[in-house]
Structure 1
Amino acid sequence: MKITHLGHACVLLEFNAPKPTRILIDPGTYSTGFESLRDLDALLFTHSHPDHIDMNRVPALVEANPGITVAADQGSAAVLAEHVVDHQVRGQGDTVAAGDIGIDVLAGDHAVIHCDLPNITNNGYLIDGHTLHPGDAFLDAPGSVEVLLLPVGGPWMKIGEAVDYVRRVRPRVVIPIHQAGLAKIHQDLHYGLLRNLGPAESEMVVLEHGVPVTV
């Protein structure tokens, strides 16, 4: 599998077997480079915050990828419906098909930012049984996770929670995401803490923007 980080929470996953399959997750306002993607099989949204779903660019992306499967949590589905974008609403226990790749939905709520703010739904996606994008929540995953796309910065979390999450999930590879709101010096600080405090068997792989990496 190849993973390309397109900024913040947006990642492209590419599989060659049993047939070429391309899955894009969370193209939001802080992400760049996804607009020109073609031959996408699935487009997944974890929740409705603009940094995860940019409705100024998503409709054109869907139109340019005929036959694409668009799956979303309830909140993102409402946004997509407002813009007349065909989609599927998916929740806990549901699956999404992308070519021959199966995607399990882990549904719940967005992590709390503040008790005075209304909360929203949040989907995590377990792709092909081994790669987890949790959205904006530290969701429990059934079974083992080989590749964890790990949020490392946001108003709903502190880095100690991310460390504890990695310790709980114990993936083979940790790929930091959701970092756009952090200054570079703080990104590096968080990566260092995760390397030093995470499980010894979990390799941290920081992706360069737009550069595919095989994991």
Structure 2
Amino acid sequence: MKLTHFGHACVLAEFDSGERAVRVLLDPGTYSADFEDLTDLDAILLTHEHPDHLDPDRITQLAKTNPAARIIADPGAGDRLREAGLTPEVARPGENLTIATVTVEVLGGEHAVIHPNLPCVTNNAYLLDGRLLHPGDAFTIPPSDKPLDVLLVPAAGPWMKASEAIDYLRRLAPRVAVPIHQGGLAEVHRDLHHQLLTNLAPDGTRVEVLEPGTAHTY
């Protein structure tokens, strides 16, 4: 499996299927960059409708250059995409999908609470190939007791505290944790959050901060 981080919550996951890699792009949003020219995508997955996870203009561009790619979204993101003239597949927690040879378990259900006075939106977490978890904006716990290979762990956001991310990382104890969702932080604070995750990770977990735009193999 190869992962390329395009900043914030946007990650390209590539899975070896023998003849060619299955390429899945997750959460191409407004805080992310340099994913616009990707080709040969099999699917684009959206966890929820907030702009930092969903940029309708650039997703429309991707749909034109990747006409065979499936666009899969939670109900709220599905509404935003239809408003942009796209035709997404709406997926809900409890469903199991297959993208080429890659299985996708849809988990989650709701975005973490930012404030009780703000409306809560839907949020899908996606477990790909039983190995890679993108939780969106929530601390979703996979139902399986099988050890998780790679967790895309939220590092910061208005809906969370650093201590919650650390506790989430410790509970899931993946082999590798890749910090995401740090696009709203100044560099000095971004480094601090990454350092906290690294220093307080559980035994057996390696935290890797990915260089944007560079593929890493797992």
Report if TM-score (shorter chain) is over 0.5.
Answer: yes
Gaps of 5+ in 2: none
Q: Distance in 1 between matches of 2:65 and 2:86?
A: 12
Give how far 1:96 is off. 2.4
2:31–2:52 Cα contact (<8 Å) kept: yes
Please show how residues 136-155 of structure 1 align to structure 2 within 5 Å. Answer: 136-143=137-144, 144-155=147-158
Partner of 1:15: 15
Identify which of 202, 205, 208 aligns with 1:205: 208
| Mean CA deviation greater in 44-53 or 91-100 | 91-100
Please show how residues 49-198 of structure 1 align to structure 2 within 5 Å. Answer: 49-143=50-144, 144-198=147-201
Gaps of 5+ in 1: none
| Mean CA deviation greater in 125-134 or 54-63 | 54-63
Amino acid at match of 1:93: G
The alignment partner of 1:190 has SS state of: helix
Give how far 1:57 is off. 1.1
Partner of 1:36: 37
Give the count of matched residue pairs.
Answer: 215
Q: Distance in 2 between matches of 1:160 and 1:150?
A: 12
User: TM-score of the superposition, structure 2-length normalised?
Assistant: 0.96
2:201–2:207 Cα contact (<8 Å) kept: no
Q: Distance in 1 between matches of 2:110 and 2:151?
A: 19
Q: Distance in 1 between matches of 2:198 and 2:210?
A: 15
Give the share of equivalent positions with the same residue, in percent.
51
The alignment partner of 1:210 has SS state of: coil
Q: Distance in 2 between matches of 1:101 and 1:56?
A: 27
Amino acid at match of 1:193: L
The alignment partner of 2:130 has SS state of: coil
| Mean CA deviation greater in 172-181 or 99-108 | 99-108
The alignment partner of 1:4 has SS state of: strand
Partner of 1:4: 4
1:23–1:40 Cα contact (<8 Å) kept: yes
Amino acid at match of 1:173: V
RMSD of aligned residue pairs (Cα, Å): 0.9
Q: Distance in 1 between matches of 2:176 and 2:44?
A: 23
| Mean CA deviation greater in 186-195 or 132-141 | 186-195
| Mean CA deviation greater in 101-110 or 42-51 | 101-110
Q: Distance in 1 between matches of 2:40 and 2:30?
A: 22
Give how far 1:120 is off. 0.2
1:7–1:31 Cα contact (<8 Å) kept: yes
1:71–1:96 Cα contact (<8 Å) kept: no
